[in-house]
Every structure is written in C-alpha cells, then in structure tokens.
Structure 1
Amino acid sequence: MEKDLFHTIVTVRGLTENLLNQIPEQIVDIIPDGFNNNIRWNFGHIAVIQEKLAFEALGEELGLPYEFVTYFAAGTSPNNWDKSVPSLDDIHSVLTEQKSRIQSKLKGRLNEALPSTLRINRLISLTTVAQTLQFSLFHEGMHIETIKNIQRLIKLKV
C-alpha cells in the first residue's frame, strides 16, 4: 500500500505541476465572478493543506515558508494580499520539493496514529498518516478542477 500511495501522490502532484506550467502568469491573479479565490491562491493552498495534512496533523513542523500559511491557508483571501505574495516560481518550488519530502519523512509511518483525531467536518475524521495523505489527494484534485474552471472562465471573457 505504501508504494502505491506514494506513487499516487507523485502522479497527482505531477498533474498539478504540469497545470501550473501551462497557465500564463497574467491570469493567475484574476478572481472571476462566482469565485472567492484566484489561480495563484489555489496552487498555494494545495501546498499548505498538503503540508498540514502530512505533517501538522502529526504534530511536526511545517516545511514550507511561513508566508505560505499567511497567504494560502483555509479562510485566507487574495483580497487581503499585499505586494509580497509568493511568486509562481516559489509556489512551484514548494510543490515540487514537498512530494519527495513527504516520501522521505513518512516512509514506514503510514499506519502511525495521529496524536488526536483530525476532524475535517462532521462526516470526515482522520486517525492515521495514510488517511491524511489519502484525503490530501482528494483535496488536491478538487483544487485542480477549480483551477481549470477559473482558467476556462477567464478564457471565455478574453
């Protein structure tokens, strides 16, 4: 199971990185009607939530720049950003590095219990490292689709 899960993390992250490489910089900060965030926020958010699910849920330190949490955590908004928001290159570097760090730090630990149950909502409770990583794949997929939807909407208006 471990080999398969890590393979899926690398595969899904590869899709995310490939999408990031295809999006023109001039559209990443547009927030279309009906959306709360932009493309840059969604990519940064993927990195922050993956980090929180993989490491913070275990009580370990986050391995990404502090400003990522400031700009991209749940509940944040591009409407409150200043001019020092991380660049796409910064986000890409974090996304790329994160997948290998997850594998190296969590190898052999998938069945490890979290210090306390992580409740996502009233229906989802996670208790092991494997469960947090599996949920992170679902989360990343949702945001990949959101990014594609924002991109489509922007293209329709241009």
Structure 2
Amino acid sequence: MESIFKAWKTSRNLYLEYFEKYTLEQLNKIPDGFSNNLIWNIGHIIVAQQALIYKGSNLSGYISVELYGLYKPGTIPTGLTTETEIKELKTLLISLIEKTEVDFYNGKFNTYNERMTGTGFHLSSLMDAFEFNNYHEGLHLGCMTNIRKFV
C-alpha cells in the first residue's frame, strides 16, 4: 500500500502545479477539438477517486452530491468554474489523500462491490480500485498535458 499511496501523492502534486501555472481563464478554457478543460480533469479525478474507493466500499466519502454531479464520468464542463470552486478543488486534491490513508489504515474499508469500469477494467477488490485509480489519474494527467498546449 505504501507504493500505491506514494504514486497517488506524486500524481496529485503534479495536478497541484496546474493551479500555480495557469490562470482561472486558462483552467476554464476548452480548446478547439477538446470536450473538456484543465479544471474539469482535476475535478473529475477527485470525484472518480471518491466513487472508486468510497462508493465502491458502500461508504459516503468526503464530497458533495453536487460536486459529484459536475465531474462524474460522462459529464463535460457546463459553465465556468469560479475562483471559489477552484479553491475547493485545490483543497480536496490534497486533503482527500490524508483522509483516505487514515481511513484505510483504520480499517474503515470492510467490503468492496466488484464491478467493471466504463473503460473495461474489472475491479474485484479494494486493491484493484486503488491501482485503477492511479492508472486513471495518469490518463487524465496525459489529457491535461495535451490541453495545456492550447490554453
């Protein structure tokens, strides 16, 4: 588990750099040929992690239903993300790591609902979900690398 958490922390710190390097306008810009923007990708990986780990374990997690609705799989940006919302996402990006780590080591995850992801990955355990989460976050970091060239 230590290596999974280490990879996750590294990934999230790479995402955190986008808040420092790009303006609100750049974070919100959807370049021609793309269906989302930099900030949507950040919001998406936050809600996806909560769904993969917490919802998959029949737990409520730490994000609002409204936030989930904005960034869940299959969504696209519906408007401009505000500075206030950006601050919330920035906080969640890092704070959820510690909360998930504490919950894991305190034995909060007792069950996992086996399922197939929308991309065809079979998740049969909590460990599968953690590993898939890191893979998923890497995919979206790659998407953002492409988007940033056009903002």
Aligned-partner residue type, residue 59 of structure 1: N
Q: Distance in 1 between matches of 2:37 and 2:31?
A: 8
SS at 2:28's partner residue? coil
Q: Aligned pair 1:140/2:101, yes or no?
A: no
Secondary structure at the aligned position of 1:48 is classed as helix
Paired position in structure 1 for 2:51: 52
Q: Match for residue 103 of structure 1? A: 101
Quote the residue 1:19 is aligned against.
18
Whole-angstrom distance in 1 between the partners of 2:18 and 2:129: 24
Q: Quick check: 2:58–2:111 contact (8 Å CA) kept in 1?
A: no
* SS of structure 1 residue aligned to 2:134: helix
The CA deviation at 1:117 is: 1.1
Alpha carbons of 1:25 and 1:124: their partners in 2 closer, same or farther (altered >3 Å)?
A: same
**Residue 112 of structure 1: CA displacement?**
5.7
Greater shift, 128-137 or 9-18, is seen at 9-18
Task: In structure 2, give the amino acid aligned to 1:124.
Answer: F
Superposition map of 1:109-148 within 5 A:
113-114=111-112, 116-121=113-118, 123-148=120-145
Query: Please, which moves more after superposition, 69-78 or 100-109?
Result: 100-109
Q: How much has 1:81 moved relative to structure 2?
A: 3.6
Letter aligned with residue 100 of structure 2: I
SS of structure 1 residue aligned to 2:25: helix
Q: Distance in 1 between matches of 2:62 and 2:84?
A: 15
Tell me the number of residue pairs that the alignment of Structure 1 and Structure 2 aligns.
151
Identity across matched positions, percent: 21
- Of 12-21 and 41-50, the range deviating more from structure 2: 12-21
* More off after superposition, 23-32 vs 89-98: 23-32
Structure number having the greater strand percentage: 1
Q: 2:146 aligns with which of 122, 145, 149?
A: 149
**Structural RMSD (CA):** 2.4
Which ranges in structure 1 are unaligned for 5 or more consecutive residues? Answer: none
Q: Normalised by the size of structure 2, how large is the TM-score?
A: 0.87
- The structure with the largest alpha-carbon Rg is 1
**What stretches of structure 2 of length at least 5 have no aligned partner?**
none
